[in-house]
Amino acid sequence: MIDRIMHDYAAVAARLPEAAVTRDTRARAMHELSRLGWPRNSDEQWRYTNLRAFERLPAFAPAVLARTGGDAAGLELPPALPGFERLLYINGVRAVPAARAPTQAAVVPGALWPAEQRLGLLCDMFATDVAALQIRGSSAIEVLFVTSAAAAGAACYPRLQLALEPDSQLQLVERHLGAPDAPTLVCASVAVDLGRGAQLTHYRLQQCGLHTVFTDTLSAQLAEEASYRVRQVAIGAASARTSAQVQLAGRGAAFSWQAIAVGRGQQVHDTALKVEHRAPGTRTEEVFRGIADERARIAFSGHIHIAASAPGADARQSLRGLIEGAGAEIDLRPRLEINTDEVKAQHGATTGALDENLMFYLLARGIDRSTARALLKWAFLGDVLRAIELPQLRSAAEHGAAGQLPDIMAIGALT
Amino acid sequence: MTGDTSPAAGTAAPSPLLEIRDLHVKVGGQEVLRGISLIVRSGEVHAIMGPNGSGKSTLAHVLAGRPGYEIISGSAQFEGQDLFALAPEQRARAGLFLGFQYPVEIPGVNNAYLLKAAVNAARRERGLAELDAFEFLSVVRAKIKLMQIDESFLSRGVNEGFSGGEKKRNEILQMLVLEPKLALLDETDSGLDIDALKVVANGINTLRAAERAIVLVTHYQRMLDYVVPDYVHVLARGRIARSGDRTLALELEKRGYDWISEQAAA
């Protein structure tokens, strides 16, 4: 597998744009991936990742090599979000280079991804462009990463680098869309650096088509009193792997991750989230809701590490999975690792079928069984969907999730 | 001893709305109901009383169709049809309502949606046109007011964050909107302060009518000061140990349940 990747890289390396990732960073990433090797399912970190889907991909070379921008013509894009600046990337390249780019920042070489995030190295090697944003003050930005039909059978490497200056605020929407009709890799990486007191609300919607193999690798660093809120909805792709590592480096930094994953058919959604509390008074809230219908597999691994240097930390995890299909599978792995006293920590993880008490309550009101099931599934996802504060985006997320669960569409419970 | 203290057969009594005959039910392998017989006719209010563990809540839940109960023998007819042959949702649509002792919270499903879906399910069953949003609101508004519930609750999740009293008021509101033929109210009075009890009792009394019946399951007599029953039945050890009129409830208030339990054990 590594040989195939290296072969594809050697074929295109000379044509990859220096402006997106420096040649040196690419080379370092290549060597690191070569050293680490391709992950195996026998490794606990990769146990539920659909590695075979990656292995079956026809190519790792990017669909677009020249930094000339993709063609937006003919693409069906979601309506603009009021008050948001839109950045459109097609097949990993900015579609319309901005006449002015006040938020565009210089690309800084990042640290190499750790072994459990090694798919991020692919993006370092092959990236064709980058949305590098330096935020001062208050902003609202929507970054659309669209994979077009032209990318079918190839790969796209969406790349996002964010730096928020102290006390700045950003509402960020990151959406992955597009449905090529042949196996296509979408390999995204996101790096977030929040200065002291900075606040980032990061909405992430993954709505790729069912031929897409999707992976995104995220790292975030929070300074003192910074706040990072992630609201993630994963409903697309044949196979999706999300790996995120968040470091609460400054005193009082707060992180909130609320996510849903809904899979059907033979979809696989696998998320590995690691949060490190390194400073006093840091806070984490993790909420995950997954529904696996038909033969889908959903996995969530939430590892919270509280270092000795983080007294007064507060960490909460609530992970819940709902198995709807006879051949479906859900694996939730909460893990709290605490190395100091005076912390508040709680976690809960449950997987199962719909609650019979709730079901009986609805039946006892005359609601038919299929509507009751649909309502309860909708309720199961409700607390995360309601946390999406932008009405248009919430509606898009709700319709996307309901599209995965046709019985919900039928009951008309959507807002 | 059976619970049949309704007007004797052979008089001009209306046919029974609910007729339970020698019902035996097991829960978790243990026989909890051990031969219950009871007739409830339209227009009547029955109170089922008894100490904890006597089987009174089991009776209400078995009738409503809750899973997990094993009916060993006996029957229950609702308007002449075999109640146990119907799924819980069919029983509800046929006009049987269970008011829960512990109403569940369903965040993400709002009260208005549930109520409207429930009303329209019942209307479809009766061959009536479904209510549109406007008609539904006009029906529900007056009843919300009666139950002293804030209208904003309609857009909240079912029982989400409600206090115990609010949950019980919501149960009665649902009952008022659905207008069942038979309401089984399982310890609706438990956990209510006196003001909430009056509101709930007022709601129940509003529903009293010649064409419907109410069965109150309760541990305490105090609810019966406000909703005066026609008949009182005392359950002990899974059987109706005694039936009478409301004076029986007053006697229980004075003497407790022990004497009846002792008689039942004898």
The tens digit of pLDDT for each residue in B238-258 reads 999 999 999 998 888 888 888
What pTM does this model have?
Answer: 0.83
pLDDT of residue B43: 94
Query: What's the complex ipTM?
Result: 0.93
Tell me how far apart the alpha carbons of residues B175 and B203 are, in angstroms, rounded to a whole number: 9
What is the average per-residue pLDDT within A234-254? 96
The answer on pLDDT for A211 being more than 70 is yes
Is the pLDDT score of A410 beyond 70?
A: no
For residue A356, list chain B residues with Cβ-Cβ distance below 8 A.
67
Structure confidence at residue B155 (pLDDT):
84
Amino acid letter, residue A158: P
Interface probe with A: pick from B109, B156, B185, most Cβ of A within 10 Å: B109
Residue B106 and residue A375: Cβ atoms within 8 Å? Answer: yes
Using a CB-CB cut-off of 8 Å, the residues of chain B touching A367 are 89, 114, 117-118, 121
Residue A389: CB atoms within 10 A of its CB come to: 12
Distance, CA of A39 to CA of A119 (rounded, Å) = 9
Model confidence pLDDT, tens digit, residues B17-36: 999 999 999 998 999 999 99
Q: Cβ contact (<8 Å) for A375 and B103?
A: no
Identify the band that residue B266 occupies on the pLDDT scale cut at 50, 70 and 90: low
Tell me what pLDDT residue B219 has: 86
- Digit-coded pLDDT (tens) for A132-146: 999 999 999 999 999
Per-residue pLDDT tens over the stretch A288-339? 999 999 999 999 999 999 999 999 999 999 999 999 989 999 999 999 999 9
Q: Answer whether A361 sits within 8 Å of B113, measured CB to CB.
A: no
Q: What pLDDT sits at residue A404?
A: 81
Distance of CA A267 to the CA centre of its chain: 16
Does residue A336 sit at the B interface (CB-CB below 8 Å)?
Answer: no
A1 vs chain B: nearest CA distance in angstroms?
45
Structure tokens given for A155: 């790969």
Enumerate the residues of chain B whose CB falls inside 8 A of the CB of residue A383. Answer: 107-108
Q: Looking at A195-296, which runs of residues are DSSP E strands?
A: 199-206, 212-222, 227-234, 239-248, 254-263, 268-277, 283-292
pLDDT, position B126: 86
